[in-house]
Structure 1
Amino acid sequence: MFKRTSVLTAVGAAAAAVALAAPSAVAAPTSWSITPTGAFTGKAGVTALTDNNGNKIQCATSAAGGTAPTSPVSGSPAKLASITSISFNSPCTGPFSSTWTVTTTPSWEIWGLDYAAGAGTNSTGQTTGEVRAINATVAGSSILGPCSFKASGKVAAKYNNPTSGGANGTLNTAGGGLTLTITNKVGGGCGIVGTSASFAGLYTIVSTATGKSPVIVGS
């Protein structure tokens, strides 16, 4: 009986130690600070729209503009910014020697879901979220014929806070598992176009008031 009690006590102590050592769940932020708020611009190099069939449309550059609301922003998730304009250079290129033009319908929205201090590209904090309300018309032609379609929905995104000097705050839409829905396919060239697509772009975000990248902190 003594040995059995000793074993049970030891097992119980080990289980308690594991429970104490396990990290506790971290609640999503309910308050967000954005510094500075107001108007911002975003610039990206190559962006890519890749459908579920593997067809990729690449644009050499993209530019965006938007506004961030006055802090603090409450909510979980929370709307952290509106993208009021976004453009892609033309022509963009795709499979079968195709060329494309992308026309957007703003505003798109940047939402924050989670925040990790000390994370991200610059180890100064990273916000995980989504770009929502995406709405774009993609039109072009190839040896297969003309094609136009709509891409809409939301994609996962991460905002990496800038360095301590305020440079290189970036919004990255690569990865994350969310895809846009492709609809309204018109034209013979659309025969190879899929039903969904990912969007990958890395935008450097700069406040128009300060010339530096905004800092986002969730708590």
Structure 2
Amino acid sequence: MLKKSSVLTAVGAAVAAIALAAPSATAGTTAAWTVTPSGAFTGSAGVTSLTDNIGNQIKCATATASGDAPTSPTAGPQLASITAAAFNAPCTGPFNSTWEISTSTPWTLNGTSYAAGGTNGTGVVTGNIGSISATVTGKSVLGECTFEVTGSVDAKYNNPSSGGSDGTLDVAPPTTGALLLSIGSKTGPGCNIVGATATFKGSYSIKHSSGVSPVISYS
């Protein structure tokens, strides 16, 4: 015959087990990304470069982009959409080649980690630009060439100085573990020297439509 105290102990243990297994209704809010201000933004860059795995490099003198950041906070990893991207002539390459790059958007701007510091000492976001899609068309002494570029590239966003407009998006893959763009659908004799993958490099000045640069934080 079980003693009353034993029964109460068993019941208490069962209740405790259920309570531990159930999710807490009073847990704190989930950490999220904040982009301030949200909304429309533009980006402008000087020289940008596309370099394939063989070493061939196409350089464009200037580049521009524009997009939109959703109302914050957001769970991420997507922090914004890049709705337009242009690489302006002259774009030049090996063997006296000239190139034009047309893009298909939207692309995604994604954040994977946040840290103090950065170019302006106000925080830096490490992430990538995804869903990239572009058509590259050129002509050289080797003949005409058209190929498709798709994939993702590593990127870092440096927050601006307090209230400033000096926020920058640096598109420069690290020395190890870089995301690589894929090169495919190569057409034309000039494509015989084009590799299978590529990296992209450039530094964009980012400004919100209000004139300041967005500040991205994670908490």
TM-score (norm 1): 0.84
CA distance in 2, matches of 1:183, 1:218: 37
Query: Structure 2 matches for 1:55-66, cutoff 5 A?
Result: 55-66=56-67
Tell me how many residue pairs correspond in the alignment.
Answer: 187
Moved more, 161-170 or 50-59: 161-170
Letter in 2 for 1:204: S
2:208 corresponds in structure 1 to: 207
Between structure 1 and structure 2, the one with the greater Rg is 2
1:175 corresponds in structure 2 to: 173
> Do structure 1's residue 87 and structure 2's residue 86 form an aligned pair?
yes
2:163 corresponds in structure 1 to: 165
CA deviation vs aligned residue, 1:57-109 (integer Å, no higher than 9, x gap): 0000001110000000114xx11000000101123000000000000000000
SS of the counterpart of 2:89?
Answer: coil
CA distance in 2, matches of 1:202, 1:47: 8
CA distance in 2, matches of 1:91, 1:80: 31
Query: Structure 2 matches for 1:1-219, cutoff 5 A?
Result: 30-75=31-76, 78-117=77-116, 119-176=117-174, 177-208=178-209, 210-219=210-219
Letter in 1 for 2:165: A
Letter in 1 for 2:94: P
CA distance in 1, matches of 2:143, 2:203: 31
Letter in 2 for 1:51: D
> How high is the sequence identity, in percent, across the aligned residues?
56
SS of the counterpart of 2:191?
Answer: helix
Extract unaligned runs of 5+ from structure 1: 1-28
RMSD (Å) for aligned C-alpha atoms: 1.0
2:14 corresponds in structure 1 to: none
TM-score (norm 2): 0.84
1:16 corresponds in structure 2 to: none
